[in-house]
């Protein structure tokens, strides 16, 4: 592209070019679409709000060191925070009092539930800090309304999406074992294997499995046998020679615009969230740099989309006004207009909705920003009867999946459980809080302190209960001109409550995990603080629920403009040349984190865009919905 | 004396008390590469005089290898001492997790020290060299991994 | 210098044993320089040296696979397998020794000599650089025996001799040459990186693929900066540290035009070059730690041997040992040696001494 350095495109050059496709957001959605289209020869611009660093090993190391040096090691601690493109921090979530909104962080929290979910506005988006679990959603998750009379059906079935799940598993590089994923109606193509073999289960997993496997549990009318199963994850393991009909799989390691040889297999740094120091974990920079390698993709960083401009007659997007800043913190920016034949918003479920609403584009369904979902996590924790060596390995290597679906979903939400190799940290701030207690309260020093720590930390088990939340229109992102960021962009306002459907499963999960601890002979140390943000009560029992950073639903997908925002290809019903990509399109989130599913969706979207722009080039894996409005 | 000279002078005592407080040998402490930095950090935050006085109290009686007597000496003369106790506990945490915690406000009011005292990690390596993790046979999250699949093995450390 | 042709299977085995030794001989110097870098500094340099060291491990394993494939028995525990540093890697009239030393311009210059592409040698003149006459195959190789002390113009030629020998034996014996147990091969599932993975050797084609990979990664037969997979040869990789810049595709030799490679030669532990146990006071913690290092390293070599001798799955814990070894490196390198002017300890790699002179 005129010999321009793809990473150093001057804003004025970018704004002066009419691209085939302009993509807002360099996260997994945008990167996958950019890579697919760039490979087909289409000219693509990717716009990133964050500083756009971390394309060399040196820069990546700076992020790792920023994490090392951070006293508060929250999930955005490693990343360069920019005042011109601020991001939410989990510690900004505080208990709301007297219905007063909390606007101390980037998100404005309206409540009633205080959500501590975040996202990252950096190159590669929130995949920078994701844990990289790569579970598929279950067939039932796609037909919630028809199967259980709850939530919404997708306009796509599991079977239709299954090939795209396979493509996504290749793009993300998933390690897993298909045999461990046979439950809840999950099906795989005959002979399918994951690109890499499963992560070896931890000693803790194996210790638990010994006593837990086969535990029969009655949920509603059905009885399920629980089993510890390996968790598929987008982390480099041992390539499976049987993959792809025996062709095998070549993992991608660390990425850098210079040479980079690190980033082979997972080494067990126990830090998937917030940063893998050796880049064994997939993050979207991998896809983004591959997109750049096509020679057809430009990156414009430090550029925040400000307003989507629409032709009032045709509804088509005529451009996206952006603000480009030079210094990440100092005020000051230049304004420009993105020009392209097709526009893709891939800035995550919160930011996509925020941008549309800030542009007064509520959609003919008025659903823009509504149906906000995230997983509700109930954490439970205990001490195993023996030292299990907590604090080793990837954060989670196994989980309990057997009750991810069942007829009980007519009445209450689905749930799955992860076994944490990293101890109680998420729930209690361990091991720091343990050290403080042993030193300050138990007055231990020297060898006694060492013994005390082994006993207190080395036995820790944390089971997280990941609970489904269904779409409700009152759970929403909105904007409010009273709350602007430094660039003058409206900040996202979050209104969220936890539905009873979900709370019922929180109570169920607490009961079940108590039984699990009893079966393991583990000391149950779970307790919830009524003064903590996220405190909810249900039938007289109180819990603290935590967010999962799985924002979804805000531009919900459906079969018609009246009741949804985008179609099955993530194309806007109202704007013929606009796609809203990512988890915001999902009509349900089941009990899988959203990344693998949204990656599958975005690969279909890329196909649809390619079919539209260069018919014949695209791989025809999707029957694209054609509702082109003549310009 | 320059601050460097003062601290070089305090180094042996600092290592000795750190070893008793943490339960790690002086060799292991030196192996973290953090000794000088930690002494400098502590001195900067609490003042050389508090450090010097604490080390003086620590070495006031010659206890030798009697761990029980040493434990009693530590409790009576250091850990329960209004000036030295909070500092000693801070040193344990500094060695264990690499974080210097701001001394309590009443401590500063009573004994002075640096008004700019604050929670901080003296260097990125201070975190990765935290002794908490080797103490329990784990790795500090984000560093010093054991290698692929090693997490499937029984723990290396089950007792101190 | 004469080249003893490989005429029988025993000759091929001897060559492959020697090749394993010479691949291993680079690892202690590379690791010593690598881990002397203070954590968090010299990140580009760390990555460059680490990448080469990891590939030397790959080469060592490839040669082990080859030896296994032709019915040999790799053994990294035999007396003399680990070189004694400074190790003389004779080089024509002017020898140079390979030291275990801190990350420094001197260390990198030595690494450049080790990795020098064959065709560069012909062009080099004068006293500073040296015409390479012997290969690392001539590292004193106790168990190989003096009759195999052959001398090659370059590493590339050493491997060429192996390949020729392989061809000749294959012409005589056919695929019967590959009489080793295929189950002993350490396959691609056990190692990979940006620079290619392990190859199980079961026939002539895979044997040649393994030799090609070693050669391509910078053992001195290619004359290009990047190989066909876009991977940079070791020599040029190291040269970037002295030139301060990354090479990129299309660059001419000695004139990299990529991004900067900043180097801080001072952010390094001041370790003693070629430290020996005798440098550390008997009974001192430092000496104990050095002994612990050596026994851990011996365990690592024993585990690799076990992996080669029929238990390939042992390769994974052997890699785990490497992580532990890194911690032991750092612990030694942060201790000052009593009686020296500010010199710190370092591993001594006196592995045989554990057996000869147990303390």
Which residues constitute the domain of residue A531?
6-613
Question: 10 Å Cβ neighbour count for A54?
Answer: 25
Nearest to C320 among B27, B32, B150 (CB): B150
The answer to whether A425 and B79 are in contact (CB under 8 A) is: no
What's the rounded Cα separation, in Å, for the pair C346 and C337?
A: 10
Residue C114: the pLDDT is 85
The answer to whether A163 and A187 are in contact (CB under 8 A) is: no
Residue among A261, A277, A392 with most chain C CBs within 10 A, to mutate: A261
Strand-pair category, A44-47 with A297-300 = parallel
What's the rounded Cα separation, in Å, for the pair C139 and C149?
A: 9
What's the rounded Cα separation, in Å, for the pair A121 and A25?
A: 9
A56/C189 Cβ within 8 A: no
The answer to whether C233 and C218 are in contact (CB under 8 A) is: yes
Residue C88: the pLDDT is 67
Nearest to A387 among B93, B128, B158 (CB): B158
Please tell me if residue B124 touches chain C, with a CB cutoff of 8 Å: yes
Residue B6: the pLDDT is 72
The total number of structural domains that make up chain A: 1
Please indicate, yes or no, if residue A175 is contained in any of the structural domains: yes
The answer to whether A474 and A113 are in contact (CB under 8 A) is: no
Which uninterrupted H or E stretch holds A110? strand A108-112
Please tell me if residue C188 touches chain A, with a CB cutoff of 8 Å: yes
User: What residues of A are in contact with residue B137 (Cβ under 8 Å)?
Assistant: 389, 391-392, 454, 458
Residue with tokens 């046998």: A225
C43/A259 Cβ within 8 A: no
What's the rounded Cα separation, in Å, for the pair C51 and B104?
A: 47
Chains near B (3 or more Cβ pairs under 8 Å): A, C
The answer to whether A118 and A549 are in contact (CB under 8 A) is: yes
Please tell me if residue A277 touches chain B, with a CB cutoff of 8 Å: yes
What's the rounded Cα separation, in Å, for the pair A28 and A235?
A: 15
The tokens for A101 are: 């909104």
A445/B74 Cβ within 8 A: yes
Residue A54: the pLDDT is 86
User: What residues of C are in contact with residue B26 (Cβ under 8 Å)?
Assistant: 285
Please indicate, yes or no, if residue A107 is contained in any of the structural domains: yes
Which uninterrupted H or E stretch holds A23? strand A18-24
Beta strands in C128-183 (DSSP E): none
pLDDT (mean) for B143-147: 96
B99/A389 Cβ within 8 A: no
A507 vs C51, more confident: A507
Cis amide prior to A631 (ω within 30 degrees): no
Q: Which of A60-64, B4-8, C78-82, C121-125 has the lowest mean pLDDT?
A: C121-125
* Extents of the domains making up chain B: 3-152
Nearest to B147 among C320, C330, C334 (CB): C320
Residue C255: the pLDDT is 92
Question: 10 Å Cβ neighbour count for A177?
Answer: 18
Please indicate, yes or no, if residue A1 is contained in any of the structural domains: no
The tokens for C3 are: 């080249």
What's the rounded Cα separation, in Å, for the pair A29 and A344?
A: 10
Which uninterrupted H or E stretch holds C300? helix C285-308
Residue C158: the pLDDT is 77
Count B/C contacts: CB-CB distance under 8 Å: 48
Please indicate, yes or no, if residue A618 is contained in any of the structural domains: no
Please tell me if residue C118 touches chain A, with a CB cutoff of 8 Å: no
What's the rounded Cα separation, in Å, for the pair A495 and A493?
A: 7
Chains near C (3 or more Cβ pairs under 8 Å): A, B
Output A627-630 pairs: Cβ under 8 A, ≥24 positions apart.
A627/A567, A627/A571, A627/A573, A627/A576, A628/A576, A629/A314, A629/A315, A629/A316, A629/A576, A630/A314
Q: C341 in the Ramachandran plot: left (φ > 0), alpha (ψ -120 to 50) or beta?
A: beta
Residue among C38, C317, C332 with most chain B CBs within 10 A, to mutate: C317
Please tell me if residue A458 touches chain B, with a CB cutoff of 8 Å: yes
Please tell me if residue A318 touches chain B, with a CB cutoff of 8 Å: no
What's the rounded Cα separation, in Å, for the pair C87 and C316?
A: 29
Nearest to B21 among A431, A445, A458 (CB): A445
C258/A261 Cβ within 8 A: no
The tokens for A528 are: 């919830």
pLDDT at B54 over 70: yes
Question: 10 Å Cβ neighbour count for A179?
Answer: 11
Residue among C38, C39, C43, C188 with most chain A CBs within 10 A, to mutate: C43
What's the rounded Cα separation, in Å, for the pair B61 and B53?
A: 14
pLDDT at C137 over 50: no
User: What residues of C are in contact with residue A61 (Cβ under 8 Å)?
Assistant: 40, 43
Nearest to B148 among C316, C324, C334 (CB): C316
Please tell me if residue A265 touches chain C, with a CB cutoff of 8 Å: yes
The tokens for B113 are: 């020290």
Model confidence at C89, in pLDDT bands (50, 70, 90)?
Answer: low
Instruction: Quote the distance between the C-alpha of residue A490 and its chain's center.
Output: 23
- The chain A residue lying nearest C247, using CA atoms, is A258
Which candidate, A69, A63, A74, places its Cα nearest to that of A425? A74
Residue with tokens 């001494």: C353
Q: Which residues pair with A396 in a beta bridge?
A: A420
What's the rounded Cα separation, in Å, for the pair A22 and A44?
A: 6
The answer to whether C261 and C240 are in contact (CB under 8 A) is: yes
Q: What is the dihedral of CA A434, A435, A439, A445, to 10 degrees?
A: 120
What's the rounded Cα separation, in Å, for the pair A355 and A347?
A: 9
Nearest to A203 among B89, B148, B153 (CB): B153
Please tell me if residue A66 touches chain C, with a CB cutoff of 8 Å: no
Residue C232: the pLDDT is 85
What's the rounded Cα separation, in Å, for the pair C173 and B69?
A: 77
Which uninterrupted H or E stretch holds A380? strand A376-383
- CATH number (domain holding residue A485): 3.50.50.60
A203/B124 Cβ within 8 A: no
Q: What Cα–Cα distance (Å) separates residue A43 from each residue in A297, A310, A341, A610?
A: 6, 22, 10, 11
The answer to whether A599 and A28 are in contact (CB under 8 A) is: yes
Mean pLDDT split into 10-residue runs, chain A, 631 residues = 62 96 98 98 97 86 95 95 95 89 95 96 97 98 98 98 98 98 97 97 98 97 98 95 93 76 82 95 96 95 97 97 96 97 98 98 97 98 97 98 98 98 98 98 98 98 98 98 96 98 98 98 97 95 97 98 98 98 98 98 98 70 36 34
- The chain B residue lying nearest A447, using CA atoms, is B23
Secondary structure letter of residue C106 according to DSSP: H
Q: In CATH, what number does C9-243 get?
A: 1.20.1260.10
In three-state form (DSSP H/G/I as H, E/B as E, the rest C), the secondary structure along A176-219 is: CCHHHHCCCCCCCCCCCCCCECCCCCCHHHHHHHHHHCCEEEEE
Please indicate, yes or no, if residue A309 is contained in any of the structural domains: yes
Q: Which residues pair with A504 in a beta bridge?
A: none
- Mean residue pLDDT of chain C comes to 84
C128 vs A613, more confident: A613
C190/chain A closest Cα distance in angstroms: 7
Q: What Cα–Cα distance (Å) separates residue C13 from each residue in C8, C20, C140, C214, C309?
A: 9, 11, 17, 18, 15
Please indicate, yes or no, if residue A624 is contained in any of the structural domains: no
pLDDT (mean) for B56-61: 93
The tokens for A587 are: 């009509």
- Which of A:192-231 have CB within 8 Å of C? 197
The tokens for A266 are: 């997972």
C330/B33 Cβ within 8 A: yes
pLDDT (mean) for C72-95: 76
Please indicate, yes or no, if residue A621 is contained in any of the structural domains: no
Instruction: Quote the distance between the C-alpha of residue C86 and its chain's center.
Output: 14
Residue with tokens 């609490």: B46
Nearest to B143 among A277, A440, A453 (CB): A277
The answer to whether A388 and B155 are in contact (CB under 8 A) is: yes
Nearest to B27 among C289, C317, C319 (CB): C289
Q: What Cα–Cα distance (Å) separates residue C272 from each residue in A108, C35, C286?
A: 58, 13, 13
Q: Which of A326-340, A614-628, B123-137, C105-119 has the lowest mean pLDDT?
A: A614-628
Residue with tokens 């009239």: C93
- Report the SS3 class of residue B76: helix
Q: Dump the DSSP string for C53-91.
A: HHHHHHHHHHHHHHHHHTT----TTSTT-SPPSSEEE--
Give the CA radius of gyration of chain A. 23
- Report the SS3 class of residue B52: helix
Can you say whether the dihedral through the CA atoms of A391, A392, A395, A397 is positive or negative? negative
Strand-pair category, A476-478 with A493-496 = antiparallel
The tokens for C10 are: 């025993």
Please tell me if residue B26 touches chain A, with a CB cutoff of 8 Å: no
What's the rounded Cα separation, in Å, for the pair A367 and A373?
A: 13
Please indicate, yes or no, if residue A625 is contained in any of the structural domains: no
C189/A239 Cβ within 8 A: yes
User: What residues of B are in contact with residue C289 (Cβ under 8 Å)?
Assistant: 27, 31
- The chain A residue lying nearest B160, using CA atoms, is A451
What's the rounded Cα separation, in Å, for the pair A544 and C275?
A: 57
Question: 10 Å Cβ neighbour count for C350?
Answer: 21
The answer to whether A280 and A236 are in contact (CB under 8 A) is: yes
Instruction: Quote the distance between the C-alpha of residue A298 and its chain's center.
Output: 24
B16/chain A closest Cα distance in angstroms: 12
C200/chain A closest Cα distance in angstroms: 13
- Which of C:233-262 have CB within 8 Å of A? 237, 246, 248, 258-259, 262
User: What residues of A are in contact with residue C232 (Cβ under 8 Å)?
Assistant: 259
The tokens for A1 are: 């592209």
Residue A124: the pLDDT is 97
φ and ψ at B35, to 5 degrees? -55, -55
Which candidate, A93, A184, A86, places its Cα nearest to that of A135? A184
pTM of the complete model: 0.93
Can you say whether the dihedral through the CA atoms of B135, B139, B144, B145 is positive or negative? positive
User: What residues of B are in contact with residue A278 (Cβ under 8 Å)?
Assistant: 145
Please tell me if residue B151 touches chain A, with a CB cutoff of 8 Å: yes
pLDDT (mean) for C105-112: 94
pLDDT (mean) for C326-339: 96
């Amino acid at each position: 592209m005129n010999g321009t350095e793809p990473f150093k495109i001057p804003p004025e050059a970018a704004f002066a070019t009419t691209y085939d496709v302009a993509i807002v957001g360099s996260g997994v959605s945008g990167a996958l679409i950019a890579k697919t289209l760039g490979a087909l020869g289409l000219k693509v611009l990717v716009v990133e709000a964050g500083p756009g660093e971390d394309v060399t090993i040196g820069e990546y190391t700076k992020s790792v060191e920023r994490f090392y040096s951070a006293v508060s090691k929250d999930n955005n601690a490693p990343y360069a925070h920019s005042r011109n493109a601020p991001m939410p921090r989990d510690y900004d979530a505080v208990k709301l009092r007297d219905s007063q909104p909390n606007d101390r962080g980037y998100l404005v929290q309206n409540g009633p539930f205080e959500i501590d979910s975040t996202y990252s506005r950096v190159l590669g988006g929130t995949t920078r800090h994701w844990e990289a679990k790569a579970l598929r959603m279950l067939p039932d998750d796609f037909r919630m309304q028809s199967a259980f009379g709850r939530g919404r059906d997708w306009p796509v079935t599991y079977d239709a999406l299954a090939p795209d799940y396979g493509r996504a598993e290749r793009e993300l590089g998933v390690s897993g074992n298909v045999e461990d994923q046979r439950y809840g109606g999950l099906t795989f193509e005959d002979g399918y294997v994951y690109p890499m073999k499963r992560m070896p289960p931890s000693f803790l997993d194996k210790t638990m499995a010994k006593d837990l496997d086969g535990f029969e549990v009655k949920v509603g009318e059905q009885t399920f046998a629980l089993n510890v199963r390996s968790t598929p994850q987008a982390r480099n393991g041992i390539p499976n020679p049987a993959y792809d009909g025996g062709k095998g799989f070549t993992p991608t390691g660390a990425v850098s615009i210079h040479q980079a040889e690190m980033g082979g297999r997972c080494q067990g740094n126990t830090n998937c969230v917030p940063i893998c120091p050796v880049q064994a974990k997939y993050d979207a920079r991998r896809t983004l740099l591959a997109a750049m390698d096509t020679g057809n993709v430009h990156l414009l960083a430090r550029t925040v989309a400000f307003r989507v401009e629409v032709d009032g007659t045709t509804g088509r997007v005529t451009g996206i006004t952006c603000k480009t800043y030079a210094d990440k913190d100092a005020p000051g920016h230049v304004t420009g207009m993105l020009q392209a034949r097709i526009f893709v918003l891939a800035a995550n479920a919160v930011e996509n909705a925020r941008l549309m609403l800030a542009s007064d584009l509520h959609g003919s369904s008025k659903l823009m920003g509504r149906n906000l979902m995230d997983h509700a996590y109930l954490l439970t924790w205990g001490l195993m009867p023996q030292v299990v060596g907590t604090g080793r390995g990837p954060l989670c290597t196994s989980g309990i999946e057997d009750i991810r679906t069942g007829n009980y979903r007519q009445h209450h939400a689905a749930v799955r459980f992860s076994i944490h190799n990293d101890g109680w940290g998420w729930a209690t701030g361990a091991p720091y809080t343990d050290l403080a207690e042993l030193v300050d309260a138990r007055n231990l020093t020297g060898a006694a302190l060492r013994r005390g720590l082994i006993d207190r930390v080395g036995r820790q088990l944390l089971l997280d209960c990941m609970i489904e939340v269904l779409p409700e229109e009152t759970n929403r992102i909105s904007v409010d001109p009273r709350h602007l960021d430094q660039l003058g962009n409206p900040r996202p306002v979050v209104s969220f409550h936890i539905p009873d459907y979900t709370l019922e499963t929180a109570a169920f999960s607490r009961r079940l995990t108590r039984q699990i601890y009893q079966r393991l002979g583990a000391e149950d140390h779970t307790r919830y603080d009524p003064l903590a943000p996220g405190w909810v009560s249900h039938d007289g029992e109180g819990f603290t629920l935590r967010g999962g950073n799985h924002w979804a639903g805000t531009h919900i997908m459906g079969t018609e403009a009246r009741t949804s925002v985008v179609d099955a290809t993530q194309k806007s019903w109202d704007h013929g040349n606009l796609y809203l990509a990512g988890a915001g399109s999902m009509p349900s989130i089941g009990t899988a984190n959203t990344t693998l599913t949204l990656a599958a969706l975005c690969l279909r979207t890329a196909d649809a865009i390619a079919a539209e722009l260069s018919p014949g080039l695209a791989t025809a894996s999707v029957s694209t919905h054609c509702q082109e409005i003549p310009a | 004396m320059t601050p460097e000279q003062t601290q070089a002078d305090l180094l042996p005592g600092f290592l000795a008390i750190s070893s008793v407080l943490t339960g790690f040998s002086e060799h292991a402490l030196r192996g973290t590469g953090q000794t000088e930095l930690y002494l400098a950090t502590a001195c900067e935050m609490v003042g050389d005089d508090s450090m010097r006085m604490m080390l003086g109290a620590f070495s006031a009686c010659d206890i030798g290898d009697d761990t029980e007597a040493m434990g009693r000496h530590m409790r009576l003369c250091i850990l329960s001492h209004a000036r030295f106790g909070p500092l000693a506990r801070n040193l344990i945490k500094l060695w264990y997790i690499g974080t210097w915690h701001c001394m309590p406000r009443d401590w500063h009011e009573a004994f002075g020290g640096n008004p700019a005292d604050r929670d901080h990690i003296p260097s990125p390596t201070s975190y990765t060299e935290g002794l908490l993790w080797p103490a329990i046979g784990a790795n500090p999250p984000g560093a010093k991994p054991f290698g692929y699949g090693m997490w499937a093995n029984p723990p290396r450390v089950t007792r101190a | 210098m004469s080249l003893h042709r490989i005429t029988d299977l025993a000759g091929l085995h001897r060559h492959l044993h020697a090749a394993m030794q010479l691949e291993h001989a680079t690892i202690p110097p590379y690791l010593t320089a690598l881990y002397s870098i203070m954590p968090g500094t010299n990140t580009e340099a760390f990555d460059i040296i680490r990448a080469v060291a990891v590939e030397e491990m790959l080469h060592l394993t490839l040669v082990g696979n080859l030896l296994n494939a032709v019915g040999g028995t790799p053994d990294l525990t035999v007396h003399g397998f680990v070189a004694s540093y400074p190790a003389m890697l004779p080089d024509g009239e002017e020898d140079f020794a390979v030291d275990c030393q801190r990350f420094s311009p001197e260390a990198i210059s030595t690494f450049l000599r080790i990795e020098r592409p064959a065709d560069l040698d012909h062009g080099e003149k004068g006293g500073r650089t040296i015409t390479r006459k012997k290969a690392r195959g001539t590292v004193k190789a106790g168990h190989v025996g003096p009759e195999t002390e052959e001398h090659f113009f370059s590493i590339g030629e050493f491997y060429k001799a192996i390949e020729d020998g392989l061809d000749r034996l294959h012409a005589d014996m056919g695929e019967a040459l590959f009489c080793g147990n295929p189950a002993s091969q350490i396959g691609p599932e056990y190692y990979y990186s940006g620079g290619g993975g392990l190859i199980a050797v079961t026939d002539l084609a895979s044997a040649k693929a393994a030799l090609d990979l070693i050669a391509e990664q910078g053992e001195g037969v290619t004359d290009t900066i990047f190989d066909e997979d876009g991977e940079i040869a070791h020599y040029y990789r190291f040269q970037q540290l002295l030139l301060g810049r990354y090479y990129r595709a299309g660059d001419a030799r000695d004139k990299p035009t990529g991004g900067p490679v900043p180097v801080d030669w001072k952010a390094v532990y001041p370790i003693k070059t070629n430290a020996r146990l005798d440098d550390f006071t008997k009974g001192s913690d430092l000496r104990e730690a050095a002994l612990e290092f050596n026994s851990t390293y011996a365990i690592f070599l024993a585990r690799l041997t076990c992996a080669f001798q029929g238990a390939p799955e042992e390769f994974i814990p052997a890699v785990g040992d490497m992580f532990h070894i890194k911690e032991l490196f750092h612990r030694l390198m942060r201790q000052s040696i009593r009686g020296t002017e500010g010199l710190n300890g370092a591993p001594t790699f006196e592995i045989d001494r554990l057996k000869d002179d147990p303390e």
